[in-house]
């Protein structure tokens, strides 16, 4: 397995991989520009035909960089996203809920692993991506900069945050880059399960004692707007959208997905017996969709900039876990070096993975 991975890395970074979805590579002796044009044409044709781009296929540098940026951010979100929920593992109010929450946080670590692996097919490495996260050079979802103040927040995260994530991610199951799309199929299945559990947690609170109901309502009040911000800036202010849609990395605009999410949530909130903290939400007969109030984009920008309630805490804990774990990783590497047979050792990748500079 290790050899295969190393091979893929070498291939994907060599720049000589075959053109996407076609056997027609550039003819020998063709000028470089013409060869590039042929590769690009084959790539564009593959994307247009809804073929999957695979690690060994040729792809434009910008496509590669965009994917690395997006997949890294996605992976980082999974592992930073463990923190707000792990905050309640030791205080979960029943053993059943504790087991569900532990399993969920474990799944998130697993999703991080899938996504880092998928990103590595593009010629980067998990270590490199983590270093960038720790240095503040790559982002994670802004939602995880909000604190979990009560047990009900665990339910609100499941229902709203996972709900928004699923709305965003289901279209990614058809993303043009194969490894990403396949990772998303697995992730979306597990996320849907988590979302149902979060909803069910809130339902139990909403139908519980007065204090529990109030706890649930307070959590929904605090998480509603940040969840809507998860879809990103409005379409007219989204810098990456057009290109990502052309490449079929993205399939729907931010505002389209946000609208879809609101339309899903309104009846669910009613069924929960909870209200959404937006007096402007109402059904619009003409549009066949819900109207809703204006998002506070100033707050969004502030959180993105690093000035949200928990930005500092999240990244500090993440860095600390990594730094305090360094001696453990060193030990594992030293042990492996001592106990690996010489033939197995030569199968390790000889060169470090190529550095991919993202445009974040």
Partner 1 sequence: MSAALALGDDALVLSHRLGEWAGHAPVLEEEVALANIALDLLGQARVLLSLVGDEDELAYLREERAFRNLQLVEQPNGDFAHTIARQLYFSVYQHLLYERLAAGDGRFAELAAKAVKEVAYHRDHAEQWVLRLGDGTAESHERMQAGLEALWRFTGEMFQPIEGLDAAATTAAAATADAADATDASATTGTAGATGADGSGPAVDWAELEGAWLSAVTATVERATLTLPTGPRTGAWAAGAGRQGLHTEPFGRMLAEMQHLHRSHPGASW
Nearer Cβ to partner 1 (10/87): 87
Phi-psi region of 15 (alpha: psi -120 to 50; beta: other; left: phi over 0): left
- CB neighbourhood size of 40 (10 A): 15
- CB neighbourhood size of 103 (10 A): 14
- Contact track, partner 1, 125-144, x by CB under 8 A: -x------------------
Start-to-end Cα distance in the chain: 32
Q: Which residues 139-168 are close enough to bind partner 1 by CB under 8 A?
A: 151
Residue 287 CA to residue 83 CA, distance in Å, equals: 39
Nearer Cβ to partner 1 (167/212): 212
**Interface with partner 1, residue 2, by CB under 8 A:** no
- According to DSSP, the residues that pair with 291 across neighbouring strands are 282
At closest approach, how far in Å is the CB of 50 from partner 1? 32
85 close to 147: Cβ distance less than 8 angstroms: no
Stretch that binds partner 1, among 27-35, 101-109, 282-290, 343-351 (CB under 8 A): 101-109
At closest approach, how far in Å is the CB of 202 from partner 1? 11
Query: According to CB under 8 A, which one of 71, 105, 183, 249 is a site residue for partner 1?
Result: 105
Beta strands (DSSP E) in 103-156 are: none
Query: According to CB under 8 A, which one of 40, 113, 149, 264 is a site residue for partner 1?
Result: 113
* Cα atoms in the 13 Å half-sphere on the side-chain side of 167: 25
Query: According to CB under 8 A, which one of 6, 17, 86, 149 is a site residue for partner 1?
Result: 86
**Interface with partner 1, residue 309, by CB under 8 A:** no
Query: According to CB under 8 A, which one of 62, 237, 321, 344 is a site residue for partner 1?
Result: 321
Give Cβ neighbours of residue 203 (< 8 Å, ≥ 6 apart): 272
Would you state the structure tokens that stand for residue 296, as one six-digit string?
Answer: 């506070």
Residue 265 CA to residue 23 CA, distance in Å, equals: 47
**Interface with partner 1, residue 106, by CB under 8 A:** yes
At closest approach, how far in Å is the CB of 74 from partner 1? 14
Of residues 168, 236, 239, 156, the one with CA closest to residue 202? 156
Query: According to CB under 8 A, which one of 1, 16, 286, 327 is a site residue for partner 1?
Result: 327
Beta strands (DSSP E) in the chain are: 282-284, 289-291
Q: Which residues 199-228 are close enough to bind partner 1 by CB under 8 A?
A: 201, 204-205, 208-209, 211-212
**Interface with partner 1, residue 186, by CB under 8 A:** no
123 close to 143: Cβ distance less than 8 angstroms: no
Nearer Cβ to partner 1 (92/264): 92
Stretch that binds partner 1, among 1-9, 135-143, 187-195, 333-341 (CB under 8 A): 333-341
**Interface with partner 1, residue 1, by CB under 8 A:** no
Nearer Cβ to partner 1 (95/350): 95
Of residues 238, 268, 266, 267, the one with CA closest to residue 252? 238
Question: Where does this chain bind partner 1 (CB under 8 A)?
Answer: 79, 82-83, 86, 89-99, 102-103, 105-106, 109-110, 112-113, 116, 126, 151, 201, 204-205, 208-209, 211-212, 317, 320-322, 324-335, 338-339
């Amino acid at each position: 397995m290790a050899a295969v991975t190393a091979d893929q890395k070498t291939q994907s970074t060599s720049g000589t991989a075959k053109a996407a979805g076609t056997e027609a590579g550039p003819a020998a002796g063709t000028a470089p520009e013409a060869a590039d044009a042929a590769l690009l044409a084959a790539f564009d044709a593959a994307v247009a035909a809804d073929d999957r781009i695979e690690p060994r296929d040729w792809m434009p540098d910008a496509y590669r960089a965009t994917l690395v940026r997006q997949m890294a951010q996605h992976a980082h979100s999974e592992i930073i996203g463990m923190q707000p929920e792990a905050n309640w593992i030791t205080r979960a109010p029943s053993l059943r809920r504790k087991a569900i929450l532990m399993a969920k946080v474990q799944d998130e670590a697993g999703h991080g692993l899938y996504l880092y692996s998928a990103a590595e097919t593009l010629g980067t490495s998990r270590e490199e991506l983590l270093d960038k996260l720790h240095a503040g050079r790559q982002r994670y979802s802004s939602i995880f900069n909000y604190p979990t103040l009560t047990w009900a927040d665990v339910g609100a995260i499941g229902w709203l945050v996972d709900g928004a994530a699923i709305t965003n991610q289901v279209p990614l199951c058809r993303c043009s880059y194969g490894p990403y799309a396949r990772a998303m199929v697995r992730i979306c299945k597990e996320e849907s399960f988590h979302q149902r559990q979060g909803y069910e947690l809130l339902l139990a609170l909403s139908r519980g004692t007065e204090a529990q109901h109030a706890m649930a309502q307070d959590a929904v009040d605090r998480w509603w707007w940040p969840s809507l911000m998860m879809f990103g800036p409005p379409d007219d202010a989204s810098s990456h959208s057009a290109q990502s849609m052309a490449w079929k990395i993205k399939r729907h605009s931010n505002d389209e997905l946000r609208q879809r999410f609101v339309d899903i949530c309104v009846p669910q909130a009613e069924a929960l017996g909870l209200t959404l903290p937006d007096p402007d939400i109402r059904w619009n007969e003409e549009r066949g969709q819900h109207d809703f109030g204006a998002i506070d984009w100033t707050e969004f920008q502030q959180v993105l900039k690093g000035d949200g309630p928990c930005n500092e805490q999240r990244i500090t804990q993440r860095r600390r876990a990594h730094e305090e774990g360094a001696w453990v990783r060193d030990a594992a590497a030293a042990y492996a070096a001592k106990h690996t047979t010489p033939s197995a050792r030569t199968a390790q990748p000889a060169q470090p993975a190529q550095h991919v500079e993202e445009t974040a």
